[in-house]
Structure 1
């Protein structure tokens, strides 16, 4: 876990790391924040490739069965061409010449993309196989600590964190406007990158039967600044009030901004939406799927709170499935709506029509 944590921080700082898979070693660097492809080529002794997700390639009009593809980069590739390959709109898509040589990504290359996603960067990786003549140079840098080597299998599994290893760190009584008898319990993931909070309302541990529960993914713009682009802040406050009215329960506030893509990418997606894309297509242009969130951490939090049967406040069927797959019984579902406005109607419609959220009742009342 320590090595994965350091690798993620190095990746976020724009530094390369070594991924080992079998007899092959790859020098891997994030496209976001990288200085030069030529620098990576010189260090590795081989010409780098760019690894892109299936979602990104589909946004460029490419059909791909594999989850990711590797694209060899020619020696004269420019920064603008790299940007075009990684995040350009479909109507500005890269030329066919840039996409020549595209092939399914190997295991190490797919692991590199997973590191990018865990680091909350654009999911585009620069990968170069370390040549035989550069092995000694790389080994020297590894020995001095200048470079870090990690196993590709460990990198490939880092996105889900470490199931069962969530640490319960601290708690305090926090009276809320809609629920005076509340306490916050903070949990930290084992790599130290993310912290999640269980808002315990009343005394759910003394309740008989299923406990009212809301899984709420953090939304800085909506929760804190009352953004009109979404209904997240209103859902958050309504959830607290509803749980209080139901006699108490738990709200899990999960560090999964932007459906798991992070705040920086969420803002990029907002800019794409301003250009005409809906929320699903905007995420795909950036290389992400419909929903990048992981709910194993929610299951771990519920286990720590001794909760195994819930009444779930949600409009998202994926949350029901995720809890049930984790062994949590979902006894019932309760809808949870915010207001539909001119500013968030398109966003909510996309969630209903593209992502299967159960919003018919509230959208029908707004002239859907």
Structure 2
């Protein structure tokens, strides 16, 4: 099986797995307990926290959560004032904003997938309390101008929340953000853990009430095993070649372009571990059925069961038919060029056979 669905989840790094095993097998103490085993567990949590923080701006604190969805919910529901966000955000942002009951503006994007900065400038005003934007889009990989949006937010006294799930450790994060949501399983760590980074002085109201174990008020017992795996995954990201996907991107993109496929979203600025392309008239369901030895996606895994065309592809101006004829290939650390080229050739051949 050739795995090309890195935006949905990444393979667990062997080093992260090894870091987790002792805490799953041998050490069972609660990291919030004061006895010696508890203190040892707490020390493992703090080592992981420091490793994760090393890839984030100075002057803040990492608060562990169950994942990025919780982190985004906490940041949004724990803030106040009107909200400005973007039409191509993850459902964890768009649905939470809609459910908040607060005034909000959803900014449009162009055909390239990038936010309209003039529209943002007009929307971010004195009543705005929060601007929420994704660093790297999970479906089309484009990189939003977070620094510019943060400047606009701060000019009116608003906070800047960045969903950095797809970009953490891969794409530079401006140090002017106020809150950052990240997830372990997108960087070769375990599922079930994420974090919300909070700038010093930023303290959203608690989402979960209880023991208040995580400053500034997130409740729940932490898993030393998950924290340790997350920490090692972050440490590995810090040591990675910053552009390991470039040759893969160029080779695959050239083959699809030569066969008449169209790229969805801007080629730049974009994280090049994401290749979202379309061929008009393609039956993606049939293609995926034919490609049993290649794992790829027709869009976000979080929305794959909805039956609706991608809201991201619709936001960049594609018709329902065009959106439904698009596929997403995600690759990274454990993808070889030979594997990607073989998968690309097989996809192109299967698509051609539909004609």
TM value normalised by structure 2: 0.31
Q: Which has the higher contact order (CA 8 A, sep 6+)?
A: 2
| Structure whose residues are more often strand by fraction | 1
TM value normalised by structure 1: 0.30
